[in-house]
Every structure is written in structure tokens, then in C-alpha cells.
Amino acid sequence: MKVNIQHSTDKEFIDSPALDDADDFEPLPADLADDAGFAPVTLKLASEHCGIRLDKVLSTLMPEYSRARLQQWIEEGMVTVDGKPAKTKAIMLGDETVVVHPQAAASDFAFAPEDLPLEILHEDADLIVIAKPVGLVVHPAAGNWSGTLLNGLLHRWPQLQGVPRAGIVHRLDKDTSGLLVIAKTLIAQTDLVRQLQERSVGREYLALVWGQPVSNGRIEAAIGRHPRERTKMAVSKSLLAKAAITHYQKLAIGSLDGKPVALLRCKLETGRTHQIRVHLQSIGFPLVGDAVYGKQHLTGVFPRQALHAEKLGLIHPATGEACEWQAALPEDMAALLHKAGITAWA
């Protein structure tokens, strides 16, 4: 697929939010399940339920739960019909007694406050700037319903319960380190989201890639879901793909295990899921350590993608002042650059 790459000296770069929801049902971890406190529900079926499948009857009588969740309880033996374990596709006669033992899901506790260590670089009445460590998931989703940044925010600032997504306006991947801004009020969040949409928020990343680009450049290529692997993104010509532009600047070169690498500064004109990782891979320079988009036989060199959100710039939503913050490289990436022979860059 042809990718439009242009040399660029543009100084203004931004990103925009990408906050996708996940509604997958997962069982609650054992350490929380014991405290869930769900009482059994007894239902006496009536004549209008005659000839209808059990799961459909339950979805009508217990609309607060999804049919998928009800089906899972049936399959797990948490539903009985006249005292006997139920079957999902069983057809009701209309005079049965059904007992349902609701089971808590991990997602039920997604917004529970948790005492997590947070590195705060700035805080005022309107916003918080956090240096996110490697391994911290930003927002609860399937597979990560607890231990996220959102849980930590709600513990430290309980008032964020009144702000959508606990004030989160943009994300970083779990294994990407660096700066995030959190809104403390709905007014501030609305303003920051507007800035992201209008491309007036500046974010700069440091990325270590395999190979050595000959010059600086601009990558313009739409990004959408991978056509075969739905958990991945890809450069795409699909009508559903979204426009994406990444600018990169070569800062320094080095080598790892005898193979050439380069340190790039990446600045985003758009903010698509995995944008930097997908764009750089598409032109032949995948991130070191990227197990999803990188060189699979070389992922053992570094345990994560070598990507760090170094700088964040925005207009303060209350004062109108131009603000900028910078986060130092985490120790693991600093050690990686030293190993590559990269000790200084502009």
C-alpha cells in the first residue's frame, strides 16, 4: 500500500483523544467475589412465558442484565428451574419456578477507588498532569477492570466521580510511558477535549526504531482495524479508516546487537489508536520491543515498545495561559538508549 511520506519542518503538532469503550463480560476475581453480596432472585413464570426459551424469558424479567450475562450464569449452573440446573435453550411451559443466583462481574467494580502510586507533575484547581509509568492501564476495559489509572484517580480525588471518565481526556498504551492530563472539573474537561479536537494540544514522543531513516519526514496514511487480526490496527484504504498524520525527526543513531537503530521524535497531527507504532512500521521502521507491530524475532531485546510521551503542551482551561510539561525518560528506556550507544540528542 502506498504511504504518503513528505519531508517537513512544521513546528506545530497535536493529538486527539481516543477513548473506546469495552463491554465484554468477565468473571469477578476471587478476592472481590466474596464481598459482592448478590442475593438469589426467585421468579414464578406465567402463561405468557409458555413456549419461550429460558434465556429470553430471563432477559425480559431481569432487563438490568444483558442476555449474554444471563446465558453465562445458566451455563455456570447459577440458574435452576424447579430445583434442577437449567439449560440455556430450554423451552418454558409457563408455570415453573426459576431461581437465579446473580454473579458479580469484574466490570461491576471498574470504577472502584484503589490506592495506587501516582507521579504528579502538576496540580491546580482545574487539572492534573501525571507521568504514567510503564504497565499502567489508563481506563478499565476487558481484561483490565481494576488497577487502572482511573481507579487510582478516584481514590486520590473522590470528587472525580462527578466528572465523566474521572476526568480522563486522552490515553497512552499500557506499555507506553509519559504525560497525561486529567481534568478536575467538567468545564475543564470540556475545554481540553475541545482543544484536542481543534488540534491545539501539543504532544511529543521519543521512539527508538529498528533501522535508520535517511531524513526527517511526514507520514500521511489512514488507519483502521486490521482486516484479519481485529485486535490490531493497520494502514488502510477502507472507508472506515480515519485520516492520520505523523511527523518524525531523526535525533540520533546507534546499534543494538549489531543492528542499526535510530531515536526519533514523533509529533502527531491526529491521535489514532497505535498511530505512531502503525505509521513507523508501515514505512519500515518498527519500534524496538513492539511485540504487536515490531520484528517478532527481535522482541526479546526490550520487553515493551520503546515509546515515551515526553512533552505535553496546552492552553490552561481557566487562565488561558500556554503551559508545557516534560517527563524524563523512564529508567528502562534510558538504559536501552545507553546500550544502543545513544547518550545525547537535541
H or E element that contains 151: helix 149-156
Place of cell 505535553: 312
Tell me the catalytic residues. 173
How many CB atoms are closer than 10 A to CB 292? 20
Q: Which value, in Å, is the radius of gyration of the alpha carbons in the chain?
A: 25
| Total residue length of the chain | 346
CA–centroid distance for 22 within its chain = 10
Residue 140: strand, helix, or coil: coil
Residue 293 is placed in which grid cell?
A: 507491530
Residue 180: strand, helix, or coil: strand
CA dist 261 and 288 (Å) reads 8
Q: Which residues neighbour 275 within 8 Å (Cβ) at sequence distance 6 or greater?
A: 223, 244, 246, 268
Q: Which residues neighbour 88 within 8 Å (Cβ) at sequence distance 6 or greater?
A: 53, 54, 55, 71, 74, 75
Q: Which residues neighbour 190 within 8 Å (Cβ) at sequence distance 6 or greater?
A: none
How many CB atoms are closer than 10 A to CB 17? 15
Would residue 289 be called left, alpha or beta, if left means φ above 0 and alpha means ψ between -120 and 50 degrees?
left
Smallest CA-to-CA distance from 302 within 208, 174, 172, 213 is with 208
CA dist 206 and 308 (Å) reads 5
Q: Which residues neighbour 58 within 8 Å (Cβ) at sequence distance 6 or greater?
A: 43, 65, 67, 70, 74, 79, 98, 100
* 79-81, strands of its sheet edge to edge: 41-44, 97-100, 79-81, 84-85
